[in-house]
Structure 1
């Protein structure tokens, strides 16, 4: 893991109306690092994730990505940043049903303007690394839940983003599938130097991270690892 910081948030406040969702949160993630935020439902962890990804505007505080302040970017610049430099994995995969598995995995490259043939070729390589090459021509309705989540991981990694934001990436899977999907996801992300920021209620998932934080009532607290 590199010590080069890619994403940093300081003093982040977010409100829904007058209700605080995130309070003075600070977090830093380096290249190739896996950082996990745990907390109960409603604690603010997903809200913080989407603030750091530039999806939710913050009330106060600053978020920097590779030295650029997200609050200084206009909507078009933010959209380009999310499309080209960020990746996303959601709890239920969120695959497009009208596209094949390979087309779903290639989507970030196609949205960035890459021609179809090289985009599909790059998607095929990632799918093969995840053991999904034989599914490339199927539709999402023709694959299992575990396979669907692996396809979502392939889509998040195909354009080699600097950061992947993962919101309960194994929350919809049984324990066996969750463990294998997480293993493959984190190994592939680390191999290409992609930072991963994930939120989860599962402490076994969080234990796989390099750094861990706990969220409670909008307050973010770093966890100190015990030395054995």
Structure 2
């Protein structure tokens, strides 16, 4: 469903990703582990079509992302992809449900239907009672759950998660990750998860390790 073949990425003269090759099936959870500066986030952004590769190619459902027009690629990211970042990146002036509904609103869905869909996902993540609160009024763990709801509300084909629990304590991290993966798996959504935490990576179906820009595949595990 999603693949990278011999991907290189340069920032100026600095090689951030070198010859990365991987593939992800529909509904699969893949973890890319590595220390800070190893290139794992750079590879994630290449896979998501946010950063164009310097060499090699990334394909989604058989199509090369770099061959797409900008408008087509932007629509792909809005319709088929979801994103979760380390610090949630919520809009503080909006309510919890308005934040979670943003992908649907950007796709043109009416406000009432979008908020209803957001409420359903928020309920599955234990946030149903917080729907009307401002995002600025919730805790860090709750904020990250809202970000997860926003990434999943439009039932994307794949979610790209960059250190999604990195800002949380260990208890909150495991709870948020468990809820995130449970909803993703129930929807058949694939997840590409970047992390430096072995406990987080252990929840994935497939493990990769990134070191100095070089990606290696570990043995496939069943969770």
Q: TM-score, normalised by structure 2?
A: 0.98
Are 1:88 and 2:83 matched, yes or no? yes
Find the residue that maps to 1:92 and give its secondary structure: coil
Shift of 1:68: 1.4
Are 1:48 and 2:11 matched, yes or no? no
List 4+ stretches of structure 1 deviating above 3 A: none
Structure 1 Cα separation of the partners of residues 134 and 56 of structure 2: 42
Report how many residues are paired. Answer: 222
Corresponding residue for 1:125?
A: 120
Corresponding residue for 2:160?
A: 165
Corresponding residue for 2:194?
A: 199
Compared CA separation, residues 28 and 146, structure 1 to 2 (3 A)? same
Superposed CA RMSD in Å reads 1.0
Runs of 5+ unmatched residues, structure 2: none
Corresponding residue for 1:185?
A: 180
2:206–2:221 CA contact under 8 A, matched in 1? no
Structure 2 Cα separation of the partners of residues 225 and 72 of structure 1: 31
Structure 2 Cα separation of the partners of residues 43 and 69 of structure 1: 25
Instruction: Please list the CA deviations of residues 66-110 of structure 1 after superposition, one character each: whole Å capped at 9, or x if unmatched.
Output: 111101101111110111100000000000111100000000000
Corresponding residue for 1:71?
A: 66
Instruction: Please list the CA deviations of residues 99-149 of structure 1 after superposition, one character each: whole Å capped at 9, or x if unmatched.
Output: 100000000000011110100010010011111010001111111100000
Corresponding residue for 1:39?
A: 34
Structure 1 Cα separation of the partners of residues 56 and 85 of structure 2: 26
Are 1:11 and 2:10 matched, yes or no? no
Structure 1 Cα separation of the partners of residues 50 and 136 of structure 2: 28
Find the residue that maps to 1:199 and give its secondary structure: strand
